[in-house]
Chain A
Amino acid sequence: MQRNMYLYILVMAAVSYAIRVLPLTLIRKPIKSRFLRSFLYYVPYVTLAVMTFPAMIEATQSPVAGICALVLGILLAWFGLGLFGVAASCCILVFILEWFL
C-alpha cells in the first residue's frame, strides 16, 4: 500500500517535537522514579547500538570495509575523537579500502 510521504514527515515531526517539548513545558522537577530514570538513561545507547550493528556492515559495498570502519570508529571514539572526526575517518577508510576490495 502506497502511503503519503508528507503524512510520514508530519507524524515524525509531531512525535519528535512532542518528545522534546513536553518535559520542557510540563516537568519542572526531576523525574523521581529510579527505574524510569535508569531506563531513559540506557535507551539512547542501546537504540544506537542496535541500529549500528550489523547495519553498518551491510551499508558498504564490501562487508570487510564495513567491519574495518566499525573497528576504526570504535577505537577513535574510545580515544575521544568527536562526532565529526569519527564519522569522517570511517568514510575515508571505506573509500580507500574499497579501492582494493
Chain B
Amino acid sequence: MKKNNGSQNREAYLIGTRDGVPIALGYFAVAFSLGIAARNIGMTPFQGFLASFLNMASAGEHAAFTSIAHHATYLEIALVTLVANARYLLMSCSLSQKYPESLPFYHRLLSGFGITDELFGICIARPGWLNPFYLYGAFLISALAWSSGTALGIIMGNLLPARAVSALSVALFGMFLAVIIPPARKSRVVACLIVIAFLLSYLAGVLPGIRNLSSGNRTILLTVLIAGSAAALFPVKDETEADHDAA
C-alpha cells in the first residue's frame, strides 16, 4: 500500500463509515444501558465517555464496572479486563493476517483501537488486503456512538422510570446472547460449554466460600477452568476459528 494513494484511502474511509452506521446505532442503544451501570458506580458523564472511548468493549467494561462497584483493586480490574477481552487477542492475531507486511507500523498501532466483535467482523469480511482507513471510518462513527451513548446513559439514567431502567438493563445481556448462541448452534461443544458455564456461574454465586469472591474473580476463575478444560479435551480444528472462514 502506497502512502500517496490518497483518493483510495478516502474512499475506503467513506465505505467504512457507511458500514459503521448500523453498528453505531446498535452500539448507541446498548451503551445507554452500560451508562446506567456506570452511573451506579459513581462515574461522571465525562468519565463514562472516556472509559467507553478508550475501551470499546461491552463485556469488558461491564465486568470492570461490576468489579469497581465492589471496590476492586487495580490489579483485579486489569485481570478482569484481560479475561473479558481476551477474545480480542485472537481477533488481533487474525487481523494481522489481513495486512501486508509492508504496512507502516503506525497503522498497526492505530488499528489496535478498533478491534471489537462487530468491527472485526466487517473488516475480516473485506476481500483481499484490508485498507486500514476502512477500519478507521467504521471505528470513528461507532466509537462516538458508543461513548456518547454511555455518557447519555449516565446523564439520563435517573430521569427514566425504574421500569424502563429495568428493561434497558437486559440490553447488554441480550447482546451477549447474540454473540454466544449462533456458534452454539454450529458446535455442540460450544453449546455444552455455555450450559456448563451457566450452571457453574449460578453455583459459584450460591456456594459458601466461592460465593464470597468478587464477581470479577469468579468470572476469571470459571473462564480459565471451563475454557482450559475444553481446550484440553476438545481442541479445535484449524478452520473452526471464529469468523476466519467467513473471509
Contact = CB atoms under 8 A, between A and B. Distances in A.
A64 interface: no
B39 interface: no
Contacts of B87: 40, 43-44, 47
Interface string A15-32: 111011111110110110
B109 A41 contact: no
Interface in B135-166: 162-164, 166
B1 interface: no
Contacts of B43: 5
Contacts of B125: none
Contacts of A80: 182
A86 to B, nearest CB: 4
Interface residues on B, range: 35 or more
B170 A16 contact: no
B176 A37 contact: no
A90 to B, nearest CB: 4
B112 A25 contact: yes
Interface residues of A, number: 79
A20 B236 contact: no
B222 interface: yes
Contact of A59 (B61, B170, B182, B223): B170
B247 interface: no
B92 interface: yes
B170 A60 contact: yes
Contact of A52 (B88, B164, B177): B177
Nearest to B191: A45
Contact of A42 (B83, B170, B230): B230
Interface string A41-77: 1111111111111111001111001100110011011
A91 B174 contact: yes
Given A42-B227, A47-B219, A54 B202 contact: yes
Interface of A: 1-3, 5-9, 11-17, 19-25, 27-28, 30-31, 34-56, 59-62, 65-66, 69-70, 73-74, 76-78, 80-92, 94-95, 98-99
Which 7 A-B pairs rank lowest in CB-CB distance, beginning with the nearest? Answer: A21-B112, A44-B87, A84-B26, A77-B181, A13-B54, A49-B197, A90-B174
